[in-house]
Copies of this chain bind each other. A is one copy, B any other.
Amino acid sequence: MRTAQRPTLEAVAARAGVSRATVSRVVNGSTTVAEPIREAVTRAVAELGYVPNLAARSLVTQRTDSIALVMPEAATRVFSDDQVFPGIIRGVSQELEAADKQLVLMLAGSPAGHHRVERYTTGRHVDGVLFASLHGADPLPGTLARLGIPVVVSGRPLGDAPVPYVDVDHVGGVTAAVRHMIDSGRRRIATIAGPQDMVAGIERLRGYRATVADAGLPELIAVGDFTRESGSAAMRRLLIEHPELDGVFAASDLMAHAALRTLREAGRRVPEDVAVVGFDDIETAAYTEPPLTTVRQPIVELGRRMTRQLLRLAAGETIEQAVMLPTELIRRASA
């Protein structure tokens, strides 16, 4: 069974009574083939159930028609409860489907895993590489770019390598969130920040600081890592250090969700005593108690845009170094 011979170009050519080259032309859509011959070839392809051997094609064209999407394995854990991880994949997948290219997904967990990613991508086994949710200043994207391998990352890269990226407007979203609380009379607005080795964490904290500073309000900061657990811990710390707080901006919905519960356990009412705003607009946000006001980011679109940029790059076009996607404040009951 395993040796079931698949028909080759040769076989199709023989059946259609033409040369290999002509079959290749038809299969690849060349225009310089007379109609009757094209038809004969098409028929032969159908009759034989011919499918081109991609390995053979890649060998000569130097293209693989596949691109890699690299994510830290932690992303599947940290984000396991929201749609960031599946959302990006969905967006990438949609665009690649349209371009008839394959998606090779690489979750880099261990250092060994990272090395494997490096070997694979630098080995030019893919036509381009997408990086999502980078932690810290990974040198790999820069290395690939220098090798001339098309790369696009999500979020402004922390290193100094000039790698093209697509990001959402963190600062704009956070500003809208914090202003919303200020406008409704809050004056002691704290933040539960995200991890400071990720752009999303850094930018969202930056937005918070700028906005409260602008309004002449104090900075009340506790740092989490985007997870619910860290959100509970941070909220508890904030309540101890700043019991007077009347608003909380959490850098992720997961942390906001945990904060909601912690506040309730501490006897604070939301939104009467404390307003809470999150970031992400995960599906759960509409089902928390009370429903969470939050900043929506276009996550599927992020995946799509990254992919489109990468494909353009791979096609030899020059692309914008940075693309920024808008965020939007979704008002529910928590603030």
A124 to chain B, nearest CB (A): 7
A148 to chain B, nearest CB (A): 3
Within 8 A of B (CB), among A105-152: 105-107, 109, 113, 116, 119-120, 122-125, 147-148
The answer to whether A22 has its CB under 8 Å from any CB of chain B is no
Complex contact A76–B81 (CB within 8 A): no
A51 to chain B, nearest CB (A): 4
Question: What bracket does the count of chain A residues touching chain B fall in?
Answer: 35 or more
Q: Would A284 and B81 be within 8 Å (CB), given that A51-B122, A59-B53 are in contact?
A: yes
A56 to B123 alpha-carbon distance, docked (Å): 13
A49 to chain B, nearest CB (A): 8
A89 to B69 alpha-carbon distance, docked (Å): 13
Complex contact B87–A107 (CB within 8 A): no
With CB as the reference atom, state the residue of chain B lying closest to A316.
B2
List B contacts of A73 (CB < 8 A): 90, 93
A116 to chain B, nearest CB (A): 7
List B contacts of A93 (CB < 8 A): 73, 105-107
List B contacts of A42 (CB < 8 A): none
List B contacts of A83 (CB < 8 A): 80-81
A228 to B285 alpha-carbon distance, docked (Å): 12
The proximity string for A residues 274-295 relative to B, scoring 1 for CB distances below 8 Å and 0 otherwise, is 0000000011100101000000
Within 8 A of B (CB), among A233-262: 257-258, 261
Q: Would A2 and B80 be within 8 Å (CB), given that A89-B105, A90-B73 are in contact?
A: no
With CB as the reference atom, state the residue of chain B lying closest to A314.
B2
A194 to B234 alpha-carbon distance, docked (Å): 37
Complex contact B87–A287 (CB within 8 A): no
A84 to chain B, nearest CB (A): 10
Stretch from A27-35, A95-103, A165-173, A210-218 contacting the other chain: A95-103
Within 8 A of B (CB), among A46-92: 51-56, 58-59, 64, 66, 73, 76-77, 79-83, 85-87, 89-90
List B contacts of A89 (CB < 8 A): 76, 105, 107
List B contacts of A100 (CB < 8 A): 116
A48 to chain B, nearest CB (A): 13
List B contacts of A106 (CB < 8 A): 93, 102-103
List B contacts of A77 (CB < 8 A): 90
Complex contact A104–B107 (CB within 8 A): no
The proximity string for A residues 285-326 relative to B, scoring 1 for CB distances below 8 Å and 0 otherwise, is 001010000000000000000000000000000000000000
19 contacts between A and B (CB under 8 A): A6-B123, A52-B123, A55-B64, A59-B59, A66-B104, A73-B93, A76-B87, A80-B83, A85-B86, A89-B107, A93-B105, A102-B104, A102-B106, A102-B120, A104-B105, A105-B105, A228-B283, A228-B287, A257-B287
A residues sitting closer than 8 Å to B (CB atoms) are 1-2, 4, 6, 51-56, 58-59, 64, 66, 73, 76-77, 79-83, 85-87, 89-90, 93-94, 97, 100, 102-107, 109, 113, 116, 119-120, 122-125, 147-148, 228, 257-258, 261, 282-284, 287, 289
Q: Please provide the 6 A-B residue pairs with the shortest distance between their CB atoms, ordered closest to farther.
A: A1-B148, A55-B58, A51-B123, A76-B86, A81-B283, A80-B83
